[in-house]
Amino acid sequence: MALGLLGVIAIALLAKENPFARWILSAVFAPERLLAQFGLGVACGLVSARVSGAALLLFGLGIVAGSVGQDWLLWVLYNVPEGPTHLFLTGPIAFLAIGLALIPGARLLPWLLPLAAIVAGAMLSLAIMLTDPSLHDPAFTWTPVLAAFWIVAAVSLTLQAFRHGWFPIFGRILGSWLVAIGLLYGGASLMPILRPPPPPTDTSQESTRGAEMNRTIPALPAPQQPEFPGGIERPPPP
Amino acid sequence: MQCVHKAGRYMAAGVSVVGCFLFYLLPGPAAAHIIQGAQGGFGSGFAHPLTGPDHFLAMFAVGLWGAQMGGRQVWTLPVAFPLIMVVGGVIGMLGVPLPAIEIGVALSILALGLAIALAWRPAEWIALILIAYFALCHGYAHGAELPLSADPADYAIGFVLATGMIHLFGIGVGLGLNKPMHGRLSRALGALIGVGGIYFLVPALLAA
């Protein structure tokens, strides 16, 4: 954990000058991704080492599956309204999968975690592809994958090292947060961006007088429309 | 000697928590349910519940009450709250009119404070119904403003994270204060929260 923290500090310091480090901070460590990976790490920390290892393996398989079937996944998620503007809702889907696995508690977690790990892996794969600013530079593909494994492993190993009776309670509460965030995030993304309502019109005498004065001022001519579609202006006469 | 140290520690913890509440009760605009203009990303969403005293008190009280009741309620109440809050949030986002939301928010603080002060331990389903109503009010108030924020997604993440952390803080304080002085410190905190509820209820009733 200490080494991990040092790594984060080093990346933060490098981010001032290095664009790649800046991209890591803004995309790889975005709250949306960090939280899903933290949730998966907590879920892995609450189960036995064998199930945890299997979940990590399935997380990797999910990443591969998401990469192989990304066209099909994008086609499915393209039909969601406003989906393309919010990374095809990869974040909310991962939150819901991990949250729904955490809420039922320790008894059902070993059965639900593998499924959640696959879904989270596939969504991470899509998010990596969608936020890649390069033309398939391997560094922009492998860095987020390694960072994700590092975060999940660091959180789960830390939890397994310090087992406490209240960890399952925290796991359930975290699960409810993830589901709530997934639903709110998804809901807010699906809503059109609203503008604040206009201020109420003043009906006092002064405002009426002002409106009358305004009426006496001749209206400005409407802005000239381009004569050709697409905004191309008429060329000057020869 | 150890007992004296323990008592001192409890007193210090109690004084600091009460100090926090007194700070929150200082006169000021109740701004937990206002987003001004197009602002609001992760930081704004995270700061929103922490800086809005009405939301903070209600979330803290949910954790404190669950810890005071003990058993399954330690986690059922904080788990149910955000899930039902989402339902209220979606209703708010859709713009479905719900009357007297601010009164409901203030009432939630008063009722939770009274429940803690009186050490009321109802059946789990009664507690969940109460929590559900309060969660609907809080969720509606925040859901209505969520699409106004510049980045609704990051705003929602920050907002729910901060809310959950206040729940955990409430549970931690509740579990810590349950044993010393037979839980009287916890009950005193509940009374203080109830006073906070009245502070918010009076202007809400006057404005209605």
Which of A90, A176, A193 is most worth mutating to test chain B (most B CB atoms within 10 A of its CB)?
A: A176
B160, A35: Cβ pair inside 8 Å? Answer: no
pLDDT of the residue at B5:
52
Complex ipTM more than 0.90, yes or no = no
Could you tell me which residue, B15 or B82, shows the higher pLDDT?
Answer: B82
Q: What is the token pair recorded at A162?
A: 């310090």
B157, A194: Cβ pair inside 8 Å? Answer: no
Rounded-to-integer distance, Cα A148 and Cα A161, Å: 20
Residue A156 sits in which domain range?
80-191
Q: Kindly state whether residue A96 falls inside one of the protein's structural domains.
A: yes
Instruction: State the sign of the Cα–Cα–Cα–Cα dihedral B177, B14, B196, B164.
Output: negative
Could you tell me which residue, B91 or A83, shows the higher pLDDT?
Answer: B91
- Alpha-carbon distance B37 to nearest alpha carbon in chain A (angstroms): 7
Q: Which residues of A155-170 are buried (b: 16+ CB within 10 A; e: fewer)?
A: bbeebbeeeeeeebbb
Angle between the B53-69 and B152-177 helix axes, to the nearest 10 degrees?
Answer: 40
Q: Kindly state whether residue A174 falls inside one of the protein's structural domains.
A: yes
Helix, strand, coil proportions of chain A in percent (round to 5)?
Answer: 70, 0, 30
pLDDT at A212 exceeding the cut of 90: no
Q: Kindly state whether residue A131 falls inside one of the protein's structural domains.
A: yes
Please state the three-class secondary structure of B10-50 as a single string: HHHHHHHHHHHHHHHCCCCCCCCCCCCCCCCCHHHHHHHHH
pLDDT of the residue at B1:
46
- Alpha-carbon distance B120 to nearest alpha carbon in chain A (angstroms): 22
B160, A181: Cβ pair inside 8 Å? Answer: yes
Q: What is the pLDDT of residues A110-160, one digit of tens each?
A: 999 999 999 999 999 988 888 887 777 788 888 888 888 988 998 998 888
A189 chain-B contacts, CB cut-off 8 A? 152-153
Rounded-to-integer distance, Cα B4 and Cα A79, Å: 66
Q: What is the token pair recorded at A82?
A: 């406003």
Q: Kindly state whether residue A168 falls inside one of the protein's structural domains.
A: yes
Angle between the B152-177 and B42-51 helix axes, to the nearest 10 degrees?
Answer: 40
Q: What is the token pair recorded at A170?
A: 């925290």
Could you tell me which residue, B12 or B207, shows the higher pLDDT?
Answer: B207
Q: What is the pLDDT of residues B149-168, one digit of tens each?
A: 667 677 777 888 888 889 88
B33 chain-A contacts, CB cut-off 8 A? none
Taking the CB of residue A13, how many other CB atoms lie within 10 A of it?
11
B82, A177: Cβ pair inside 8 Å? Answer: yes
Q: What is the pLDDT of residues B76-104, one digit of tens each?
A: 888 898 889 888 888 887 878 878 788 88
pLDDT of the residue at B40:
63
Could you tell me which residue, B128 or B45, shows the higher pLDDT?
Answer: B128
Q: Kindly state whether residue A85 falls inside one of the protein's structural domains.
A: yes
Q: Kindly state whether residue A214 falls inside one of the protein's structural domains.
A: no
With cut-offs at 50, 70 and 90, classify the pLDDT of residue B206: confident
Rounded-to-integer distance, Cα B121 and Cα B115, Å: 8
CA distances from A21 to A18, A36, A126, A159, B204 (A): 5, 21, 21, 28, 49
Query: Which residue of A173, A180, A192 is in closest CB contact with B75?
Result: A173
Q: What is the pLDDT of residues B22-60, one digit of tens each?
A: 444 444 444 444 444 445 677 877 887 888 888 889 889
Angle between the A31-45 and A109-131 helix axes, to the nearest 10 degrees?
Answer: 160
Query: Which residue of A180, A192, A195 is in closest CB contact with B82?
Result: A180
> Among residues 181-220 of chain A, which lie with CB inside 8 Å of chain B?
181, 183-185, 187-189, 191-196
CA distances from B84 to A32, B76, B99, B151 (A): 22, 12, 18, 22
pLDDT of the residue at B34:
44
Angle between the B73-94 and B124-145 helix axes, to the nearest 10 degrees?
Answer: 30
Query: Phi/psi of residue B175, each to 5°?
Result: -65, -35
Check: CB of residue B112 under 8 Å from CB of residue B63: no
With cut-offs at 50, 70 and 90, classify the pLDDT of residue A42: very high
pLDDT at B145 exceeding the cut of 80: no
Could you tell me which residue, B207 or B60, shows the higher pLDDT?
Answer: B60
A181, B157: Cβ pair inside 8 Å? Answer: yes
pLDDT of the residue at A183:
87
Q: Kindly state whether residue A60 falls inside one of the protein's structural domains.
A: no
B86, A91: Cβ pair inside 8 Å? Answer: no
Could you tell me which residue, A27 or B7, shows the higher pLDDT?
Answer: A27
A189, B158: Cβ pair inside 8 Å? Answer: no
| Tally of domains in chain A | 1
- Which one, of A42, A103, A166, lies nearest residue B175 by Cα? A166
pLDDT at A41 exceeding the cut of 90: yes
- Which one, of A171, A31, A89, A113, lies nearest residue B164 by Cα? A171
Query: Phi/psi of residue B65, each to 5°?
Result: -65, -45
Kindly calculate the radius of gyration of chain B based on its CA atoms and give it in whole angstroms: 17
Percent of chain A with pLDDT over 90: 22
B75, A184: Cβ pair inside 8 Å? Answer: no
Q: Kindly state whether residue A27 falls inside one of the protein's structural domains.
A: no
